[in-house]
Structure 1
Amino acid sequence: MTSSPFKTICVYGAGALGGAIAAKLASCDGAQTQISVVARGAHLESIRSGGIRLWEAGADSPLVARMTATADAGELPPQDLVITGLKGHQLAAAVPGIVKLLHSGTRVVMILNGVPWWYFHRDRQSGHAEYQLEELDPNGELWHRVGPERVIGCVAYQGAEVIAPGEVRLSNSGHFILGEPSGETTADIEATAALLQQAGINISISGRIRDDIWSKLMGNAAFNPISALTRALMSDIMEDPALAAMVGQVMSEVKAVAEALGSQIAMSVEERVERSRQIGPVRTSMLQDLLAGKALEITPLVGVVVSLGKLTNVPTPISATILALVTQLDRKNQQGAS
């Protein structure tokens, strides 16, 4: 690995995506970098004892990578780069741990589905620069303690699943898009991209990361909650005419909100729906969480679409209905899991 300004790197939340990235980073020549992860439970214990076993798409055997692993970020020194693998609804509770990893120059790559808490920081597209999303960042803890100025945004197109403690399987080769909230191509983002590319991760840099966020959210806002409500795979949803029509309606609402905030989505809803018909029997992350009894990632994927629809005077009736239904589903599922 060529010289990098990031000598210490921590993946905070080494689940499916985070674990895959940590394994790839740790499997590179680690002479210049120290890789660590923050994880919990049986997954953590397995990483401590045997490392992360990563099955890449089509591989006959797993890549096995060892690294420092802990449940307490306070056991680690301040890091040059932190990569979060947590979902949007998990971040607020992780603030105390993330803060322990920061020094004055630490950058934080946040791999998030849906609208992120930092969305309006240095935003020149919407007319709402520095607007804070309370539902994603209660009391502004992330904004004030982590700081949006540290963030490098990341949109991930990578199917991944934890199939056993310490073991992650990827369903495709994947693609990650990085972007500074300002849209600038900084030395930090170039160094981050180079680091990840050297680890075998497919990376591109975007000057309009918000466009990429909304483009992916068109799919997530539709498929994730519908799959949780119906327990259907993505291919099953698209084979049902009524559900496929609902997917298109949600995508239309998301695209309208995005455009009202100044984003540009090149693909039409009709093209996106047609492309979705090519997706195989994929189980969405929300359906995975539902079946595992975990809290669902509702607010970043659906709730914020509805609230930003209100902010921009864009009607979102289908998304609002789905939000009400999946919120009740999550409540009942959590009661059953407790």
Structure 2
Amino acid sequence: MRVAIMGAGAVGCYYGAMLALAGHRVDLIGREALVTAVAARGLILEKGGRQQTVALGAGTDAGVAASADLVLICVKAQDNDHAAAALRPHLSPGAVVLSLQNGLGNAAHLAAQLGRPVLPVVVYVAVQMAGAGHVVHHGRGELVLGDGPAAADTAAVFRAAGIPTEVSDQTEAALWTKLVINCALNPISAITRLPYGRIFADPDAVRMLRQVVDECSRVAQAEGVGLPADIWDQVARIAAAMPEQISSTAQDILRGRRTEIDHLNGDIVRRALRHGLDVPMNGALLAMVHLVEPA
């Protein structure tokens, strides 16, 4: 199978590496530094205390997606329009397109831009780029695909590559759950540059995170979304399982890049406003991440 990955950051590189190791032809679409590194010595995958080099292709132009059977869109939500415009001329009629992105509504937005179905995917993985063309896996890796055309066959491809994958008609609720988790962990990790374990060791920080989760839960309820009863426990379990992990938002800040905070806590703030709800902690974290982002 030919696979193209649009927006090959940590998530895209990890799943690209896993698919390539399973024998698929994988092409990464990413920044020049990534392309140069992969061309020189392949993609380095660090996982389970072992480091290996994975042979795959890479380019900066979306044209490498031509003839791909499977296209993974891994760009930040704010880059959806650019990614769709770049991919549209190159997608083959039979290509399966997946959105592996944080936030809500990405798949629907991309589908409207591309004029074809895009399956939403909930991603549960802790990964980080240790340098250009060097991805480090810290934990997990499961995917939940939305039900739709070719979903079952695509899930089977991922499972055969060692990626735990299921198909669900409840991806919207799962995306909401992940949004709440991200709203709690991502901004404070970005502002402090600290990993989850250090944050959860501070009782005041834990109280603040609980307030974030409570605010998000009220907004979800107003939107008619039922979050799991153990949503706070899920946040705590992730921090306990990956104490050395810093959030993707923190990784963006450390690399001098704009974050997707407007599609995380910012989305909660906008939805709360529509329902007349007050979410001061989400608003404060949103403002503080904007302050530490590059101008």
Q: 1:215 aligns with which of 159, 177, 189?
A: 177
Q: Tell me: CA distance 1:223–1:29, structure 2 relative to 1, closer, same or farther (3 Å).
A: closer
Q: 2:7 aligns with which of 6, 13, 25?
A: 13
Give the residue type in structure 2 aligned to 1:169: V
Unaligned runs of 5+ in 2: none
Q: Tell me: CA distance 1:273–1:43, structure 2 relative to 1, closer, same or farther (3 Å).
A: closer
2:48/2:137 contact within 8 Å kept:
yes
Q: Distance in 1 between matches of 2:258 and 2:133?
A: 21
Give the residue type in structure 1 aligned to 2:113: R
Give the residue type in structure 1 aligned to 2:270: S
Structure number with bigger Rg: 1
Give the residue type in structure 1 aligned to 2:84: V
Q: Does 1:324 align with 2:287?
A: yes
Cα deviation 1:230-259 (Å, max 9, x = unaligned): 222212221222221110111111122223
Q: Distance in 2 between matches of 1:65 and 1:234?
A: 29
Q: Does 1:101 align with 2:90?
A: yes
Q: Distance in 1 between matches of 2:113 and 2:181?
A: 31
2:155/2:167 contact within 8 Å kept:
yes
1:248/1:273 contact within 8 Å kept:
no
Q: 1:91 aligns with which of 64, 80, 87?
A: 80
Q: Tell me: CA distance 1:75–1:202, structure 2 relative to 1, closer, same or farther (3 Å).
A: closer
Give the residue type in structure 1 aligned to 2:292: L
SS in 2 for 1:326: helix
Give the residue type in structure 2 aligned to 1:192: T
Q: Which residue does 2:105 correspond to in 1?
A: 116
Give the residue type in structure 2 aligned to 1:14: A
1:52/1:66 contact within 8 Å kept:
yes
Q: Distance in 2 between matches of 1:96 and 1:117?
A: 15
TM-score, normalisation: structure 1? 0.80
Q: Tell me: CA distance 1:170–1:75, structure 2 relative to 1, closer, same or farther (3 Å).
A: closer
How far 1:74 sits from its partner (Å)?
2.3
Q: Distance in 2 between matches of 1:105 and 1:313?
A: 44
Unaligned runs of 5+ in 1: 1-6, 122-136, 181-185
Tell me the C-alpha RMSD between the 2 structures.
2.2
Q: Distance in 2 between matches of 1:270 and 1:56?
A: 28
Give the residue type in structure 2 aligned to 1:112: Q
Q: Which runs of 4+ in 1 moved over 4 A?
A: none
Q: Which residue does 2:230 correspond to in 1?
A: 268
Q: Which residue does 1:155 correspond to in 2?
A: 122
Give the residue type in structure 2 aligned to 1:81: L
**How do 1:1-338 residues align onto structure 2 when only pairs under 5 Å count?**
7-30=1-24, 34-59=25-50, 61-62=51-52, 64-118=53-107, 121=108, 142=110, 144-147=112-115, 149-180=116-147, 186-272=148-234, 274-275=236-237, 278-279=240-241, 280-330=243-293, 334-335=294-295
2:81/2:113 contact within 8 Å kept:
no
Percent identity, aligned pairs only, is 28
Q: Tell me: CA distance 1:160–1:240, structure 2 relative to 1, closer, same or farther (3 Å).
A: same
Q: Distance in 2 between matches of 1:269 and 1:173?
A: 18
Q: Distance in 1 between matches of 2:33 and 2:237?
A: 38
Q: Distance in 1 between matches of 2:133 and 2:184?
A: 30
Count of residues paired in the alignment: 294
Q: Distance in 2 between matches of 1:319 and 1:173?
A: 27
